[in-house]
Homo-oligomer: A and B are copies of this chain.
Amino acid sequence: MATVTLISDAEATPEVRAVFDDIRATRGSDFINNFWRALAHDPALLSATWQRLKSVMGPGTLDPLTKELIYIAVSVTNGCEYCAHSHTAAARAKGMTPAQHGELLSVIGMASQTNALATALQVPVDEVFKV
């Protein structure tokens, strides 16, 4: 249950409709997931978020699956339930294998542990790490 209603296609204003259309065209799918339908209460925020996401997750020097794995790592660390689900699904759609998923989880678990230890110990940054 969201803190706002989910905007249906029928309720979409022309500005929202344009973003929904671009999401559909970009993804080659008619499906609009709930995140965008909740965000659609503020067309400017919806549009800015989608435009930036499309740019950031698009072609670059990191391949699309690597970007999704990084996205999952941040989402899990932030404790975002919706994001853990949606980006795990997205990573699978981009080819993440069960073995890769297991390694992703292993790195996330390892980093979470050493992050806590380094913080508890307040380890000073080594001189060689400084630029």
What total of chain A residues lie within 8 Å of the partner, measured CB to CB? 83
In the bound complex, what is the Cα–Cα distance between A85 and B129 (angstroms)? 6
CB distance from A108 to the nearest CB of B (A): 5
Chain A residues with CB under 8 Å of chain B are 1-6, 31, 33-35, 38-39, 41-42, 44-45, 48-49, 52-53, 55-57, 60-62, 66-67, 69-89, 97-126, 128-131
B41 near A86 with CB under 8 A, answer no
Q: A105-B117, A118-B83 are in contact. Are A124 and B89 (CB under 8 A)?
A: no
A105 near B45 with CB under 8 A, answer yes
- Copies of this chain, complex-wide, total 6
Residues of B within 8 A of A119 (CB): 76, 78-82, 84
In the bound complex, what is the Cα–Cα distance between A72 and B129 (angstroms)? 14
A85 near B45 with CB under 8 A, answer no
A35 near B123 with CB under 8 A, answer yes
A111 near B74 with CB under 8 A, answer yes
In the bound complex, what is the Cα–Cα distance between A107 and B87 (angstroms)? 12
Q: A84-B3, A121-B38 are in contact. Are A128 and B78 (CB under 8 A)?
A: no
In the bound complex, what is the Cα–Cα distance between A120 and B57 (angstroms)? 19
